[in-house]
Amino acid sequence: MKLAVIVLVVVAISAAIFAFVLQKPSPDEVFNQAIQHALQTKQFTQKVAVQGGSSVTLLYDVSDVKNSKVSLVGDISLGGAKLSFESYGDGKNEFLKIKSFNFSGPDADKYLNKWTQLRKDGAWAGDDASSLANFLGANSRFLVLGDYIFGNFSAAEQTELLKLMSGKKVNDYKTEKVTKDKFDGHDVYVYEVTSNQNALKEANKKAAKFMGIPDEDLQIALSYIGSESTMAKMFVRIDTGQLVKVETEQSEMKVTNVYSAYNTTKLPAQPKPQISYEDFSKYWSNF
Report H helices in 179-261. 197-211, 215-225
- Secondary structure (3-state) at 228: coil
Mean pLDDT of 38-55: 96
Cα-based torsion angle of the residue sequence 146, 150, 153, 157 in order, rounded to the nearest 10 degrees = 40
* 287 — pLDDT class (breaks 50, 70, 90): low
Is the confidence at residue 19, as pLDDT, over 60? no
pLDDT at res. 257: 97
Whole-prediction pTM: 0.89
Nearest in space to 102 (alpha carbons), one of 283, 287, 282: 287
Mean pLDDT of 27-38: 97
Domain spanning 28-284: CATH 2.50.20.20: yes
pLDDT at res. 10: 44
pLDDT per residue as tens digits for the range 89-103: 998 999 999 999 887
Please list, in sequence order, all residues whose beta carbon lies within 8 angstroms of the beta carbon of residue 92, skipping any fewer than 6 positions away.
119, 120, 121, 122
Is the confidence at residue 14, as pLDDT, over 80? no
- Secondary structure (3-state) at 148: coil
pLDDT per residue as tens digits for the range 234-269: 999 999 999 999 999 887 889 999 999 999 999 999
pLDDT per residue as tens digits for the range 100-147: 988 777 788 888 999 999 999 999 998 889 888 888 888 999 899 999
CA atoms within 13 A on the CB side of 132: 25
Is the confidence at residue 286, as pLDDT, over 80? no
Q: Of 45-49, 57-61, 139-143, 160-164, which gets the smallest average pLDDT?
A: 139-143
Per domain, the residue ranges of the chain are 28-284
Yes or no: say if 165 and 202 are a contact pair by the CB < 8 Å rule.
no
